[in-house]
Chain A
Amino acid sequence: MADFRTHRRKRKAVQGLWALLTNAHLSGFVTGRIYSGPLKRFCVPVMNCYACPGALGACPIGALQAMVTGRRPRFAFYVLGWLALLGVLVGRFICGWLCLFGLIQELLYKIPTPKLTVPRALDKRLRYLKYGILLVVVILLPTILRDEFGLSVPYFCKWICPVGMLEGGVPLALLDRGIREAAHALYAWKLAILILVLLLSVFIHRPFCKYVCPLGAFYALFQKISVLHVEVDKDACVECGACARTCKMQVNPAKTPNSTECIRCGECIHVCPKNALKFRFTGKEASGAERRTT
């Protein structure tokens, strides 16, 4: 039990530190100017708006959209290759340990209120929404809808992303009069989405991650083949259900340890009374007992 609490604190610390590290351009929060140096060639592994005054890197979804919205849309070898590499290495571990917006949703969920259980059938269907958003809003729309100049628009960033609103839109408007004066209906719409997501996060655990995040959807594609994965020792497992009860992403780790919905937070691993769940790396010899890996 003490181990479980330490694990939780450790994960929170990692989430917080990574957020600080990747948004260390602190002067931006005083001057209202974003960082424009060479580090922004690189995509951070998580959703992190480049318009955040503190951001040192590029947002992967923003970068993906940037490749597609130019006058000559280019296949995003660099961005997709990088994201695929991360995905095949650790899958949605990134979501569980490095994402600032994930951290924020988790902190909001800690607010002591009665929690909402989304009906199973609805919840299952809504999980597919994020794949639709990835395919249609992030990739297809900007590729297909081009104006007479051949230019397009990053539809996800413009119309949906609450992360960008929280990290970029809001701080910039607070710091800069020019941006405040430029904010009209679109800004109001994005703000409404942000408030809705933050509010929902109090009652539902990580709703953005479950239903909307296109980056989580992308990483999820690699869950079953990633180097870092979860293994169930079938001999040790007594099917007590403790792991499934603990899992806030509604995964049953004993049955589907590498579900696309698992953010690899590791809580199930620490709650298992029989130590039947473990993080494993592909290539490291698994000893003896039968393993379940899908």
Chain B
Amino acid sequence: MKREYLTYAVAFLALASCIFGAVRGESADVLQKAAALCLECCGIG
């Protein structure tokens, strides 16, 4: 029983965190880095 509650609580927090981060515009930061290459950051140098 306890274990299930933990599962649901974590799932809820995770979803909330993800949505909060998305609303804050964090996915733009991800896109910025993922759509271009900083060479030395990738280990090419």
Taking the complex as a whole, does A directly touch B, i.e. does some CB pair lie under 8 Å apart? yes
Contacts A42-B27, A153-B41, A164-B42; A36 near B16 (Cβ below 8 A): no
Cβ-neighbour of A34 out of B24, B35, B44, B45 (below 8 A): B35
A174 in contact (CB, < 8 A): no
A136 in contact (CB, < 8 A): no
Cβ-neighbour of B26 out of A77, A173, A227, A293 (below 8 A): A77
Cβ-neighbour of A62 out of B14, B28, B34 (below 8 A): B34
Q: Which residues of B contact A227 (CB under 8 A)?
A: 7, 11
Interface residues in chain A, defined as those with a beta carbon under 8 Å from any beta carbon in chain B: 34-38, 40-43, 49-51, 57-59, 62-63, 66-67, 69-70, 74, 76-82, 84-85, 87-89, 153-154, 157-159, 161, 164-165, 168-169, 172-173, 179, 182-187, 189-190, 222, 224-227, 282-283, 293
Cβ-neighbour of B29 out of A74, A85, A153 (below 8 A): A74
Q: Which residues of B contact A226 (CB under 8 A)?
A: 7
- B20/A77 in contact, CB under 8 A: yes
CA distance A285 to B17 in the complex (A): 29
- B30/A173 in contact, CB under 8 A: no
- B42/A158 in contact, CB under 8 A: yes
CA distance A76 to B24 in the complex (A): 10
Nearest residue (CB) in B for A78 is B21
Interface residues in chain B, defined as those with a beta carbon under 8 Å from any beta carbon in chain A: 3-4, 6-7, 10-11, 13-22, 24, 26-37, 39-45
Q: Which residues of A contact B4 (CB under 8 A)?
A: 282-283
Cβ-neighbour of A165 out of B24, B31, B43 (below 8 A): B43
CA distance A62 to B35 in the complex (A): 12
Contacts A62-B33, A88-B14; A179 near B44 (Cβ below 8 A): yes
Cβ-neighbour of B36 out of A36, A77, A190, A224 (below 8 A): A36
Contacts A80-B17, A84-B13, A85-B18; A183 near B29 (Cβ below 8 A): no
Contacts A66-B33, A78-B24, A81-B20; A179 near B11 (Cβ below 8 A): no
Contacts A36-B36, A165-B43, A182-B39; A66 near B29 (Cβ below 8 A): yes
Q: How far is the CB of B10 from chain A (nearest CB, A)?
A: 5
**Best-buried of A49, A84, A222, A225 by chain B (most CB within 10 Å):** A225
- B45/A63 in contact, CB under 8 A: no
CA distance A62 to B19 in the complex (A): 19
Q: Which residues of A contact B33 (CB under 8 A)?
A: 50, 58, 62-63, 66
Nearest residue (CB) in B for A36 is B35
Enumerate the 6 nearest inter-chain pairs by beta-carbon distance, A residue then B residue, closest first: A78-B21, A81-B18, A81-B17, A77-B21, A84-B14, A36-B35
Cβ-neighbour of B18 out of A51, A78, A222 (below 8 A): A78
- B10/A88 in contact, CB under 8 A: yes
Cβ-neighbour of B30 out of A36, A58, A182 (below 8 A): A58
CA distance A63 to B36 in the complex (A): 12
